């Protein structure tokens, strides 16, 4: 007859085995969540779901369902018909919290049909090519990069060759139209503007792995744009970047053989430290801290390349410009809202504190991510114009 001690040992073994299974399942679940998070960060998403309900359209105004975006002060845009149409919106006229609706100025419908139903909010305001949106001469050109030909808009400052050019770089998952808000002030300052797509944009060549590299490969497309500008007469180049476009610009400043042609840099809500952004995004998505940390780690592990879907691991430490502040050598105007819900402004302020000799930091209040211009275009253009001419 088995002893009581043997039975206890057997029971303990069963409990231990069950615990190991549960721990294994928990670990597998954590790995799965971390992998999903990492892949979402790096994978371009062509889907652009509508997020704004159009309740009614009146003469000179439109009534929308109330959201965090539709209540914002300033001017914005609506993509219509799955992104094929576009409307421009102005200030809030009425806001009814109880009814969940807001009425805004309607500045115009650029294309498509604005009707009741659903549309997609955007911060671009301008939704067409520069010639139609801004009334400025524009030509479609191709920028030759290592991944292929990148479509770009060239907006000349005048007739003939110009030695001063600006290259404008949009953010992750955004469209070139995001950059058009900066074109008028650059045009007035005498800069030709080059607004390229970059790898993995819809309509542009894909990278070999089809993944975002957080600026660590995309900078080559900015360099290619600089080559195009120089081949067409540029002697000095200003780089302008929004969000991940700012991270791309910063990599170009230290990696490109053409960095000495860059005279000034303008960054709007830039990603100064991807690790900080990933921590913030993990928290927004309610991932436990260890799972978010594992996701950040997977991005940089050679052994996790297949899990994450990249050809080469991404060294997130290379994207920390607070730590790398001593490597910067160009005057930088850095605009960032303290109320940015997507890319926290803390690293921007920290970079400015470490390099006050180079970085002019202009904090904003009340604007959401990359929407500083939308909230106060006159102030934004004044700040940028003063920096360009100073």
Residue with tokens 């302020």: 349
CATH number corresponding to 52-122? 2.40.10
CB 330 within 8 A of CB 387: no
Q: Which helix H or strand E contains 65, and what residues bound it?
A: strand 61-65
pTM above 0.85, yes or no: yes
Quote the tokens at residue 346. Answer: 């803390």
- Please spell the DSSP secondary structure of 6-58, one letter per residue: HHHHHHHHHHHHHHHHHHHHHHHHHHHHHHHHHHHHHS--------EEEEEEE
Mean pLDDT for the stretch of residues 263-291? 93
Residue 25 pLDDT > 70? no
Q: Which helix H or strand E contains 88, and what residues bound it?
A: strand 85-96
Mean pLDDT for the stretch of residues 19-33? 55
For the chain, which residues make up each domain, given as ranges? 52-122, 130-273+320-389
Give dist(CA 93, CA 294) in Å, integer.
Answer: 46
Q: Which residue has the higher pLDDT, 34 or 118?
A: 118
Give dist(CA 244, CA 218) in Å, integer.
Answer: 10
- Three-state SS at 288: coil
Lowest-confidence range among 67-71, 184-188, 270-274, 288-292?
288-292
| CATH for 130-273+320-389 (3.40.50.1820, 3.50.50.60, 1.10.287.3510, 3.90.180.10) | 3.40.50.1820
């Amino acid at each position: 007859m088995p002893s009581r001690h043997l039975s206890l040992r057997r029971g303990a073994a069963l409990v231990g085995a069950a615990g190991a299974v549960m721990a294994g399942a928990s670990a597998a679940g954590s790995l799965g969540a971390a992998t999903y998070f990492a892949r979402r960060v790096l994978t371009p998403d062509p889907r652009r779901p509508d997020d704004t309900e159009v309740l009614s359209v009146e003469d000179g105004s439109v009534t929308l369902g109330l959201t965090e975006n539709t209540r914002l002060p300033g001017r914005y845009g609506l993509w219509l018909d799955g992104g094929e149409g576009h409307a421009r919106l102005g200030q809030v006229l009425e806001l009814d919290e109880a009814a969940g609706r807001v009425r805004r100025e309607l500045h115009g419908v650029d294309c498509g049909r604005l009707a009741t139903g659903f549309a997609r909010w955007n911060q671009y305001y301008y939704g067409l090519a520069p010639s139609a949106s801004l009334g400025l001469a524009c030509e479609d050109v191709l920028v030759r990069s290592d991944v292929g030909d990148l479509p770009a808009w060239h907006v000349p400052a005048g007739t003939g060759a110009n030695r001063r050019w600006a290259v404008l770089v949009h953010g992750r998952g955004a469209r070139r139209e995001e950059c058009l808000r900066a074109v008028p002030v650059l045009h007035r300052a005498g800069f030709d503007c080059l607004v390229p797509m970059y790898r993995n944009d819809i309509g542009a060549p894909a990278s070999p792995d089809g993944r975002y590299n957080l600026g660590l490969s995309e900078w080559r497309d900015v360099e290619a744009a600089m080559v195009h500008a120089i081949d067409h007469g540029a002697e000095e180049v200003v780089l302008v970047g929004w969000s991940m476009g700012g991270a791309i610009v910063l990599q170009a400043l230290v990696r490109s053989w053409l960095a000495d042609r860059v005279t000034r840099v303008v960054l709007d809500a830039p990603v100064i430290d991807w690790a900080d952004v990933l921590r913030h995004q993990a928290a927004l998505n309610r991932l436990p801290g260890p799972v978010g940390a594992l996701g950040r780690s997977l991005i940089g592990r050679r052994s996790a390349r297949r899990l994450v879907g990249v050809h080469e691991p991404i060294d997130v430490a290379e994207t920390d410009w607070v730590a790398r502040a001593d490597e910067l050598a160009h005057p930088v105007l850095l605009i960032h809202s303290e109320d940015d819900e997507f890319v926290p402004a803390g690293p921007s302020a920290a970079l400015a504190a470490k390099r006050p000799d180079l970085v002019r930091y202009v904090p904003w209040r009340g604007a959401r991510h990359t929407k500083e211009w939308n909230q106060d275009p006159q102030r934004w253009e004044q700040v940028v114009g003063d920096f360009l001419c100073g």
